[in-house]
Amino acid sequence: MTRTDYSVLSQKEKPLVQVVPLGAVDQVAVQVAAANLQSILDLPADVLEPWPEPEYALIAERGQYNAGPILKALAADIPAPLIRIGLTNLDLCLPILTFIFGEAQLGGRAAVVSYYRFNGEFWANLESKELTYERLAKITVHETAHVLGLSHCHAPGCLMRFSQSLEQLDSLSLLFCDQCSYELARARRAMEEALDKK
């Protein structure tokens, strides 16, 4: 796997996150995901060559993709402390949930995010493409924070609040409460220290 021309990682930075397009993914969406990981979480992001569409995770009778096997594939060969974020335009679910925007291994190595339900293919009344990208940024940062060890938060407006609808997601900003900000800073320091020891 190699970096592509649309990576946002500078030559001086060590990558802490690998962003992996899964199948055919909008390149602007890839840029949005990687850029927000860097600007909001301060995690240098490296964009890898696309992986094939995860047919192994297809639940044929539902026409959806089980996020569980995708997470296992993403986490299979990535060394600590690096983490990997899969990005797809496929409809994700879990066997017990009708759909999900994303899923992460809490304190693990991987997360997967889908913008399928953010765009015009699913929602007839989508206001703008910019809204799709804003929603994608929120979910990407939220799920990555789970990988860094953060659980859901109950503080008003915190991006770590649980969102099960677009209305709930749209009510959040790309900000964390003080406690979540502290935990994120601590997790990032730990990642950097572990990377420096390698």
Residues annotated as catalytic are: 143
DSSP for the chain, please give it: --B-TT----TTPPPSEEEEEBSS--HHHHHHHHHHHHHHH---EEEBPPBPP-GGGEETTTTEEEHHHHHHHHHTTPPTT-EEEEEESS-EEETTEEEESEEE-TTSSEEEEE-GGGSTTT-TT---HHHHHHHHHHHHHHHHHHHTT-----STT-TTS---SHHHHHT--S---HHHHHHHHHHHHHHHHHHHT-
**157 dihedral zone (left: phi>0; alpha: psi -120 to 50; beta):** left
Q: How does DSSP classify residue 106? A: T
> Phi and psi dihedrals of 74, rounded to 5?
-65, -35
